[in-house]
């Protein structure tokens, strides 16, 4: 796991893929590879950036390597052939280009049998509104990684309210700078610190509706 973490930090895409495959062959679980190598690698990259030892290009190549590893694990993290148990629209809010955390929540939801419409990153409030009208999800999930873009979560909830759709959809929010108090302040239904809690919230919403 340690060497996988190091190659992700160095942004070595090919070696990341090779090491993920080797760990799987050796019997490591996809969850442990995420928890013990890929996510800690991103945390350490963030620390190096904060200390001024890494710059945006290094962050970018490390993120690419992480996403490569994630692609290999994805099929194993998702069960196939399950009837959709509900629908969720996910997106990273306006102005924010971070999309790995949002992808992980998407994978967890898909693994639990949800159909997920992933709007990508830098998603404007109006786009979320359109997607709610079009796809009629039970839940929407907003992600933000910057203290500045967190505010776009509030704008998104306001836009949903203005469109008269707020009572048709539950809103969950997450991302490293987000906290419960912020969720309360902006009127979100749920704050989740990780992908599992997001998946569990969506499950609760759907099971209450049934």
Candidate segments 11-19, 41-49, 112-120, 128-136, binder of ligand B12 by CB under 6 A: 41-49
Least distance between ligand B12 and beta carbon 110 (Å): 14
Strand partners, 116: 88
Q: Is 187 in the site for ligand B12 (CB under 6 A)?
A: no
Among 8, 23, 39, 152, binds ligand B12 (CB under 6 A): 39
Among 42, 89, 109, 159, binds ligand B12 (CB under 6 A): 42
Please give the structure tokens belonging to residue 60.
Answer: 């970018």
Q: Is 60 in the site for ligand B12 (CB under 6 A)?
A: yes
Q: Is 124 in the site for ligand B12 (CB under 6 A)?
A: no
Candidate segments 70-78, 112-120, 162-170, 189-197, binder of ligand B12 by CB under 6 A: 189-197
Among 107, 195, 205, 206, binds ligand B12 (CB under 6 A): 195
Among 114, 174, 205, 206, binds ligand B12 (CB under 6 A): 174
CA count, 13 A, side-chain hemisphere, 51: 8
Closest listed residue to residue 201, CA positions, set 161, 160, 170: 170
CA count, 13 A, side-chain hemisphere, 41: 31
Q: Give the binding-site size for ligand B12 (rule: CB under 6 A).
A: 38
Q: Is 82 in the site for ligand B12 (CB under 6 A)?
A: no
Least distance between ligand B12 and beta carbon 190 (Å): 7
Residues 138-157 that bind ligand B12 (CB under 6 A): 141-143, 145-147
Candidate segments 18-26, 76-84, 159-167, 188-196, binder of ligand B12 by CB under 6 A: 188-196
Binding site for ligand B12 (CB under 6 A): 39, 42-43, 45-46, 49-50, 56, 59-60, 63, 95-102, 104-105, 141-143, 145-147, 172-177, 192, 194-195, 197-198
């Amino acid at each position: 796991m340690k060497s996988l973490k190091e190659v992700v930090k160095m942004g070595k895409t090919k070696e990341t893929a090779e090491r993920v495959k080797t760990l799987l062959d050796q019997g490591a679980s996809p969850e442990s590879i995420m928890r013990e190598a890929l996510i800690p690698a991103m945390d350490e990259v963030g620390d190096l950036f904060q200390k001024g030892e890494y710059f945006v290009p290094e962050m970018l190549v490390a993120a690419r390597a992480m996403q490569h590893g994630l692609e290999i694990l994805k099929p194993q993290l998702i069960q196939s052939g399950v009837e959709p148990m509900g629908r969720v629209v996910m997106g990273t809010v306006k102005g924010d280009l971070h999309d790995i955390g949002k992808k992980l929540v998407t994978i967890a939801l898909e693994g639990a049998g949800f159909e997920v419409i992933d709007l990508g990153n830098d998603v404007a409030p109006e786009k979320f509104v359109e997607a709610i009208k079009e796809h009629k999800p039970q839940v929407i999930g907003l992600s933000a990684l910057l203290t500045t873009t967190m505010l776009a979560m509030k704008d998104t909830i306001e836009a949903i309210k203005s469109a008269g759709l707020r009572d048709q959809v539950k809103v969950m929010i997450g991302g490293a700078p987000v906290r419960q108090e912020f969720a309360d302040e902006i009127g979100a239904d749920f704050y989740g610190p990780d992908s599992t809690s997001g998946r569990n919230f969506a499950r609760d919403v759907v099971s209450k509706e049934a």
